[in-house]
C-alpha cells in the first residue's frame, strides 16, 4: 500500500465488492480516500474505492470495458475508472460527472492522464517505462 496525500493506493491484493450486484473482484489498483469501509458480509472486501485501475489484456479487455465497468459504475464512491492499454502507451480515464454521467479522457505518449478525484497526473511515459532499462549515460537512476 502506498499513499498520495490522504489517498491510500492498494495493489491487486485488495478485493473490492459491489454491494448493488454482489460482484467481488480484484482490480489491478484501487485507491481509497478516508477510512476503508468493509463489507458486512465479506470483511475482506472494500466498499469505497474512489479510483479503480485495470490493465487491459487481450483476454480481459471486453469484460473490463463492458460488464465489469457496468458493475463498477454502481459503486457510489467511485469517481474514476482507469484503463491502461497493454500494447501501446495509452491510458483512458472515465470520470464520473456531478450528474452521474461519465466522461472519457485519453492520454498517450508524451501526455499525462489526470486523475481529478485524487489530484494527480500519471505521466504516460513513466507508466510505460521499462523498469529494467538502463538510464541514459549521465542520467540519475
Q: In this predicted model, what pLDDT tens digit does every residue of 22-34 receive, in sequence order?
A: 999 999 999 999 9
CA distance 109 to 36: 33
Give me the pLDDT at residue 29, please: 97
pLDDT digits 0-9 by tens, 81-134: 999 999 999 999 999 999 999 999 999 999 999 999 999 999 999 999 988 887
Topology adopted by domain 2-127: tt1808, chain A (3.90.1570)
pLDDT digits 0-9 by tens, 49-93: 999 999 999 999 999 999 999 999 999 999 999 999 999 999 999
Q: Which residues pair with 102 in a beta bridge?
A: 96
Question: Could you give the maximum distance between any two Cα atoms of the chain, in Å?
Answer: 55
Phi, psi of 105 (to 5 degrees): -125, 135
**Domain ranges for the chain:** 2-127
Give me the pLDDT at residue 73, please: 97
Amino acid at each position: 500500500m502506498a499513499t498520495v496525500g490522504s489517498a491510500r493506493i492498494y495493489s491487486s491484493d485488495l478485493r473490492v465488492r459491489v454491494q448493488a450486484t454482489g460482484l467481488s473482484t480484484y482490480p489491478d489498483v484501487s485507491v481509497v480516500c478516508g477510512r476503508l469501509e468493509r463489507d458486512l458480509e465479506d470483511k475482506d472486501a472494500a466498499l469505497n474505492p474512489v479510483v479503480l485501475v485495470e490493465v487491459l489484456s487481450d483476454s480481459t479487455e471486453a469484460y473490463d470495458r463492458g460488464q465489469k465497468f457496468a458493475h463498477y459504475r454502481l459503486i457510489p464512491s467511485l469517481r474514476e475508472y482507469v484503463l491502461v492499454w497493454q500494447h501501446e502507451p495509452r491510458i483512458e480515464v472515465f470520470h464520473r460527472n456531478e450528474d452521474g454521467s461519465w466522461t472519457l479522457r485519453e492520454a498517450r505518449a508524451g501526455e499525462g492522464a489526470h486523475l481529478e478525484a485524487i489530484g494527480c497526473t500519471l505521466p504516460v511515459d513513466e507508466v510505460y517505462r521499462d523498469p529494467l532499462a538502463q538510464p541514459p549515460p549521465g542520467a540519475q537512476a
